[in-house]
Amino acid sequence: MSNLIPPHGGKGLTVCLLEGAELEAEKKKAEGLKKVEISPLVKGDLIMIGIGGFSPLTGFMTKADWKGVCENFLTADGTFWPVPVCLDASKEEAADINEGDEIALYDPEGAEIMATMKVTEKFELTAEEKKWECEKVYMGEGTPTAEEFWKIAKEDHPGVQVVMNQKPVSLAGPIKVLSEGEYPTEFAGVYHRPSESRKIFDDAGWTDVAALQLRNPMHRSHEYLCKIAVEVCDGVYIHSLVGNLKPGDIPADVRVKCIDALVKNYFVEKNVVQGGYPLDMRYAGPREGLLHAAFRQNYGCSKMIIGRDHAGVGDFYGMFEAQTIFDKIPTPTEEGKALKCQPLKIDWTFYCYKCDGMASLRTCPHAKEDRVLLSGTILRKMLSEGGDLPDHFGRDEVVAILRKYYEGLTDKVEIKTHKAAMGD
């Protein structure tokens, strides 16, 4: 009997990934179905639905789900969910698809049928509806009016670009997942299904588990956040994104090496587990922080570490907006439908020369001139430009891995930083 937090939604892990004879039969059937090509983002969502990471979702959202999630954080049946999970198709692909039809979802990059789907609804999202979604899901306190938001969002917000460039038709319905793509082999030992991470935590005797979300290499601030969580929880799940990022971000295999070096040299290893998950970043800031908590609940985590500018990009969000949003979300009363994974809110952390150690705005009384401001974005910017890092910015073992990666790059990408992170 597990003592871990139950999966989100009140239905246990809703696993849609087929195995054995059922998988082989569905693969054979899929070859004869109409194929719809999927984007990398949809592929990640599909795999998460398959392995139970997006429990209680068992397929792609209807228009009522889409509208309810954007407007009220609730699916049509009243379950908390913070971002739309939809399947887009071109008009040509959708022209001869009717409700009740079965289709095959095809990944053109991997040249593989990833899933089959029974279409229960077909609907179109107009340009105005897409703009409305962007304003609801991606607009934060950094751009408090729609006018300010749209002045920069189309060019500078990768999540908004994805939504606005989606194909016009959406297909809803339950799916049967046939593959986890490249993740089980490319990230063997790191990539976990929720059932696997739950077993690891159960075997360790953990009940209260904190998750650390990573998309940047692990620097001293991340290390400090983890160690705070280790002090107050049974253990920490360092759970990094191994799906697609934006240009200029550091690839997953390099980040995994950095985490390995940190855990080996600076943690009591039995208190930390490293894992990876297959999503693309949406850069939805506060809403994505909520999504991270919802699916970490499925992985067995009762707390989600939320620090400064969680899942943010540029200056679109307030520095701690991803913390305050947890206090504003609806709490459905029906069993299991409310978010149970709670935020572990931690203030801005940094190295302070006068404190002679890591500190936060809650513990350090000194001036900003005494502090080394720590940010994954600043780290990437300095290394990409060949600059020297300030003392205490990162562990030597991690910096060595990153320098080697940057020395091998031929194409450079401009990296934009948050004004506050630069001390402005």
Q: Is 326 strand, coil or helix?
A: helix
Which tops the pLDDT comparison, 58 or 220? Answer: 58
User: Do 225 and 373 lie in a common domain?
Assistant: yes
Q: Which pLDDT does position 324 carry in this prediction?
A: 97
Q: Which residue has the tokens 């049974």?
A: 234
Which tops the pLDDT comparison, 1 or 155? Answer: 155
User: Do 117 and 30 lie in a common domain?
Assistant: yes
Q: Is 41 strand, coil or helix?
A: helix
* 3-class DSSP string for 230-275: HHHCCEEEEEEECCCCCCCCCCHHHHHHHHHHHHHHHCCHHHEEEE
Helix (H) or strand (E) holding 170: strand 169-177
Which tops the pLDDT comparison, 387 or 258? Answer: 258
119 and 103 Cβ atoms separated by less than 8 Å: yes
Residue in 254, 332, 252 with CA at minimum distance from that of residue 294: 332
* Domain carrying residue 363: 189-422
**Measured distance CA(129)–CA(109) in Å, rounded:** 29
CATH number at residue 65: 3.10.400.10
Q: Which pLDDT does position 63 carry in this prediction?
A: 98
Quick check: 51 pLDDT over 90? yes
**Measured distance CA(213)–CA(341) in Å, rounded:** 14
Q: Which residue has the tokens 């600043």?
A: 378
Q: Which pLDDT does position 195 carry in this prediction?
A: 98
The count of domains in the chain is 2
Which tops the pLDDT comparison, 246 or 67? Answer: 67
Residue 212 has phi, psi (to 5 degrees) of -110, 120
User: Do 172 and 227 lie in a common domain?
Assistant: no
**Measured distance CA(228)–CA(19) in Å, rounded:** 40
**Measured distance CA(6)–CA(297) in Å, rounded:** 7
In a domain, 184, yes or no: no
In a domain, 216, yes or no: yes
User: Do 343 and 258 lie in a common domain?
Assistant: yes
Quick check: 349 pLDDT over 70? yes
CATH number at residue 394: 3.40.50.620
User: Do 213 and 106 lie in a common domain?
Assistant: no
Q: Which pLDDT does position 415 carry in this prediction?
A: 46
Question: What single-letter amino acid sits at 83?
Answer: V
Quick check: 72 pLDDT over 50? yes
Quick check: 44 pLDDT over 80? yes
DSSP code per residue over 114-132: EEEEE--EEEE--HHHHHH
| Residue environment code for 316-348, b if the CB has 16+ CB neighbours within 10 A, otherwise e | bbbbbbbbebbeebeebeeebbbbbbbbbbbbb
Helix (H) or strand (E) holding 371: strand 371-373
CA 173 distance to own-chain centroid: 23
**Measured distance CA(297)–CA(346) in Å, rounded:** 19
55 and 91 Cβ atoms separated by less than 8 Å: no
Active site residues: 215-216
In a domain, 47, yes or no: yes
For residue range 370-390, list pLDDT tens digits in order: 998 766 667 777 777 777 777
Cis bond upstream, residue 56 (ω within 30): yes
In a domain, 210, yes or no: yes
User: Do 251 and 367 lie in a common domain?
Assistant: yes
DSSP code per residue over 175-242: EEE---TTHHHHTTTTB--HHHHHHHHHHHT-SSEEEEEESS---HHHHHHHHHHHHHSSEEEEEEE-
Question: What single-letter amino acid sits at 358?
Answer: M
Distances (CA, A) of 75 to 67, 84, 118: 8, 9, 19
User: Do 76 and 46 lie in a common domain?
Assistant: yes
User: Do 197 and 344 lie in a common domain?
Assistant: yes
For residue range 93-150, list pLDDT tens digits in order: 999 999 999 999 999 999 999 999 999 999 999 999 999 999 999 999 999 999 999 9
Q: What are 5's two structure tokens?
A: 């937090």
Q: Which pLDDT does position 424 carry in this prediction?
A: 43
Quick check: 245 pLDDT over 80? no
Distances (CA, A) of 374 to 216, 311, 378, 423: 12, 16, 7, 11
At CA 295, angle to CA 374 and CA 71, rounded to 5? 95
pTM of the model as a whole: 0.93
242 and 402 Cβ atoms separated by less than 8 Å: no
Q: Which pLDDT does position 246 carry in this prediction?
A: 67
Q: Which pLDDT band, with edges at 50, 70 and 90, does 177 fall under?
A: very high
Averaged pLDDT of the chain:
92
**Measured distance CA(245)–CA(112) in Å, rounded:** 21
User: Do 30 and 114 lie in a common domain?
Assistant: yes
Q: What is the mean pLDDT of residues 28-49?
A: 97
To the nearest whole percent, how much of the chain has pLDDT over 90?
A: 80
Q: Which pLDDT does position 414 carry in this prediction?
A: 53
Q: Which pLDDT does position 411 carry in this prediction?
A: 62
User: Do 95 and 224 lie in a common domain?
Assistant: no
In a domain, 131, yes or no: no
In a domain, 92, yes or no: yes
User: Do 28 and 174 lie in a common domain?
Assistant: yes
Helix (H) or strand (E) holding 88: strand 87-89
Residue in 29, 38, 36, 75 with CA at minimum distance from that of residue 56: 75
Q: Which pLDDT does position 391 carry in this prediction?
A: 78
Distances (CA, A) of 90 to 8, 33, 125, 171: 32, 17, 12, 10
For residue range 201-217, list pLDDT tens digits in order: 999 999 999 999 988 77
The HSE-up count of residue 358 (CA atoms within 13 Å, CB side) is 19
User: Do 243 and 172 lie in a common domain?
Assistant: no
Q: Which pLDDT band, with edges at 50, 70 and 90, does 405 fall under?
A: confident
